[in-house]
């Protein structure tokens, strides 16, 4: 089947635009609309709740986020009405498990993505026996979902190795898409001097925000901006009250992120754990300087290397920034220009990779087992039918 004949449904637990996974699929769906027959995204939203979005609970350890439950009847109706050729889910999650369960009973192939380094996050947040139990359960859940999938995709070489370690024989490598705003809006030339520095992302422990804040305190000659939300928001607000050169914007819509990237000279991603680092790619697409740590998965894409300034192992952001400032202006301009070109090329490459993965998954439809519907699913299907779907 050709790509432009496919109907693709993405079912995602992450709130749209609120973290890396939610942003990834929001951007991917926007880019695929002109390439497939139909593409839809079922994902929780805070501004306009999705019809399949049910009640929610505070996310454990992060009250700035919500854990939403799917409305099973509405979700089943959505599947039956759309008749997708492939369901794409990042797992594990409540929406993901619900979609996998419905897809299995309708005989629809499922593509599962691996975009979060769960082991590293567990090591960062928990210790002792609880961490061991969490690692075991997450590995078991991931393995269960991956082995039931028609295809499995991930976003970096280290995560490919994680999949192979779980026994996945032929995982697919896919790039990261850009939101249309980052490509379509005209780009402005960078300044000759670094005077404004930006961080965009979740305000969470894995982002090493304390390193960014320490840099802002040490470099009073520069202006710093933080955009995002998360459990470390009180720490950021405390620093803002004490520093004249630090500004906090809170969570920002994508159009605002584009504007902020354009207003700044350098974006820093000081993360300790980062599967890719979408915001780094976005800043590169806007011809801005980007500094990342060795932990960021974006470093594993050789095509992007010329447009990234990577901190050395054990190097502080202050030391790395001083090293960057020592480069000739022409060298920094060349880095930004090559970064823009590479980011746009990787976006096109990503869409081609996803087209291939989706075609491969769709071809598996005839090879899927067709289990007899469970009594619960039969009831859900009857309820969906009585609604006129």
The full 3-state SS of 171-193, as one line of letters, equals CEECCCCCCHHHHHCCCCCCCCC
Secondary element (H or E) of residue 349: helix 329-362
For the segment 227-263, what is each residue's pLDDT rounded down to a tens digit? Answer: 999 999 999 999 999 999 999 999 998 899 999 999 9
pLDDT above 50: residue 178 = yes
pLDDT at 372: 46
For the segment 119-161, what is each residue's pLDDT rounded down to a tens digit? Answer: 666 555 666 666 667 667 777 777 788 888 899 999 888 889 8
User: Mean pLDDT over residues 67-74, rounded?
Assistant: 90
Domain coordinates of the chain in residue numbers? 3-177+346-386, 180-344
For 106-128, b where at least 16 C-beta lie within 10 A, e where not — what string?
bebbbbbbbbbbbeebbeeeeee
pLDDT above 60: residue 376 = no
DSSP string, 294-308: TTBGGGG-GGGGGG-
pLDDT above 60: residue 28 = yes
CATH class assigned to 180-344: alpha beta
Do the first three CATH levels of 3-177+346-386 and 180-344 match, i.e. the same topology?
yes
> Higher model confidence: residue 365 or residue 319?
319
- Backbone φ, ψ for residue 378 (5° rounding): -60, -40
Cα angle 271-276-282, degrees, rounded to a multiple of 5: 95
pLDDT at 84: 96
Fold of 3-177+346-386: Rossmann fold (3.40.50)
What value does the mean pLDDT of the chain take? 88
Q: Left, alpha or beta for 347 (phi > 0: left; psi -120 to 50: alpha)? A: alpha
pLDDT-derived band at 389 (thresholds 50, 70, 90) equals very low
> Higher model confidence: residue 295 or residue 61?
295
Pick the range with the lowest mean pLDDT from 34-38, 43-47, 248-252: 43-47
């Amino acid at each position: 089947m050709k790509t432009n004949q496919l109907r693709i449904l993405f079912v995602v637990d992450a709130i749209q635009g609120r973290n890396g996974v939610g942003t990834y699929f929001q951007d991917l769906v926007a880019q695929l609309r002109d390439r497939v027959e139909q593409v839809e995204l079922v994902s929780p939203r805070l501004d306009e709740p999705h019809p399949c979005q049910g009640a929610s609970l505070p996310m454990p350890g992060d009250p700035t986020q919500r854990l939403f439950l799917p409305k099973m009847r509405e979700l089943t109706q959505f599947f039956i009405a759309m008749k997708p050729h492939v369901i794409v889910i990042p797992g594990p999650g409540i929406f993901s498990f619900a979609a996998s369960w419905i897809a299995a009973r309708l005989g629809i192939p499922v593509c599962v993505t691996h975009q979060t380094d769960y082991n590293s996050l567990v090591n960062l947040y928990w210790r002792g026996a609880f961490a061991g139990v969490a690692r075991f359960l997450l590995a078991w859940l991931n393995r269960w979902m991956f082995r039931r999938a028609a295809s499995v995709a991930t976003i970096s070489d280290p995560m490919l190795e994680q999949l192979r370690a779980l026994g996945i024989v032929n995982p697919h490598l896919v790039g990261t898409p850009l939101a249309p705003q980052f490509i379509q809006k005209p780009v402005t030339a960078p300044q000759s001097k670094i005077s404004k520095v930006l961080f965009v992302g979740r305000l969470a422990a894995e982002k090493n925000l304390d390193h960014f804040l320490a840099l802002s305190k040490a470099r009073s000659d520069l202006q710093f901006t933080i955009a995002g939300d998360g459990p470390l928001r009180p720490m950021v607000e405390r620093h803002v009250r004490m520093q004249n050169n630090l500004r906090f914007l809170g969570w920002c819509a994508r159009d605002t992120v584009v504007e902020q990237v354009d207003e700044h000279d350098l974006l820093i991603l000081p993360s300790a754990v980062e599967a890719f680092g979408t915001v780094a790619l976005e800043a590169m697409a806007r011809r801005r300087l980007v500094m990342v740590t060795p932990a960021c998965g974006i470093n594993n894409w050789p095509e992007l290397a010329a447009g990234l300034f990577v901190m050395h192992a054990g190097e502080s952001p202050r030391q790395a920034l001083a090293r960057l400032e020592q480069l000739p202006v022409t060298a920094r301009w060349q880095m930004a220009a090559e970064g823009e070109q590479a980011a746009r090329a990787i976006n096109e490459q990503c869409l081609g990779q996803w087209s291939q993965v989706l075609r491969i998954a769709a071809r598996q439809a005839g090879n899927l087992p067709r289990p007899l519907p469970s009594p619960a699913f039969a009831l859900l299907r009857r309820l969906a039918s009585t609604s006129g779907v």
